Amino acid sequence: MGALAIGTITPRLSFVMVARTSVSQSRAHGLSAAVGMGVGGTLFAMAALLGLQAVLAAVPSMHLIMSAAGGAYLLYLGIRIWKGSKEKLVTSVNSQVQAEARYLPSSNVALATQLSNPKAAIVYASVFAALLPRDVPLFMLVVVPLAVFAIEAGWYSLVAVGLSSSPRNAYLKYKTWIDRIAGCVMAGLGSKLLYSALDS
């Protein structure tokens, strides 16, 4: 859950969408968008869990391979986050999303934004492959998606509340250091997992 939380708070299109909704519309719209992000993350998590269960059951050796691949991807992601720490955060979203926001509830627009980002599915699959046990207990198939919803909806709710009551540049002021810390943690986790997989 900690690894997923780091991936969730890393700014991407989802962050931009919730931030823009909160700043340009209202806190209620922002919170509605946060719920949509939570639902989208939960759908990705369930798909990743069910898919991994099928693969690992059919080919047990795939657990080691996917652990190494997941660690490598997390390391790559951490490096990318660090390198992009000084880049200016884009504060506009796709024009189609802007147009739809006039007609659809913010939660629906947020859900569509989340599901249109295939990188989110890769992150979930990588983290689950690297950190979950080979035989996932049945209760985790219920608990993990619920926890994912809490992380996604909780983080974006904080974003909605914060940006609807704070100056627009509150996040931008500390973006470089936030991204660098997130990048270091993600790269460190990826390195540890990659080393463990190759050493076993």
> Each residue of 71-98: pLDDT tens digit?
787 788 788 878 877 776 554 444 444 4
Q: Distance between CA atoms of 179 and 71, rounded to whole angstroms?
A: 19
**What pLDDT does 152 receive?**
92
**What pLDDT does 195 receive?**
81
* pLDDT over 60 (residue 170): no
Mean pLDDT computed over every residue of the chain: 75
* pLDDT over 70 (residue 167): no
**What pLDDT does 46 receive?**
86
Q: Distance between CA atoms of 13 and 15, rounded to whole angstroms?
A: 5
Is the entire prediction scored with pTM above 0.85?
no
* pLDDT over 80 (residue 103): no
Q: Distance between CA atoms of 131 and 3, rounded to whole angstroms?
A: 9
If you average pLDDT over residues 101-128, what whole number do you get?
70
Q: Distance between CA atoms of 190 and 76, rounded to whole angstroms?
A: 8
Q: Annotate 114-175 with DSSP letters as a single string.
A: HHT-HHHHHHHHHHHHHHS-SS--HHHHHHHHHHHHHHHHHHHHHHHHHHHHS-TTTTGGGH
What Å distances lie between residue 171 and 3, 10, 64, CA to CA?
Answer: 21, 12, 39
**What pLDDT does 92 receive?**
47
What tokens were used for 112? 């569509």
What tokens were used for 166? 């704070």
Percent above pLDDT 90 for the chain: 8
If you average pLDDT over residues 33-55, what whole number do you get?
82
Write down the residue that tokens 């207990």 correspond to. 137
Please report, for the chain, the start and end positions of each structural domain, with discontinuous segments joined by +: 2-199
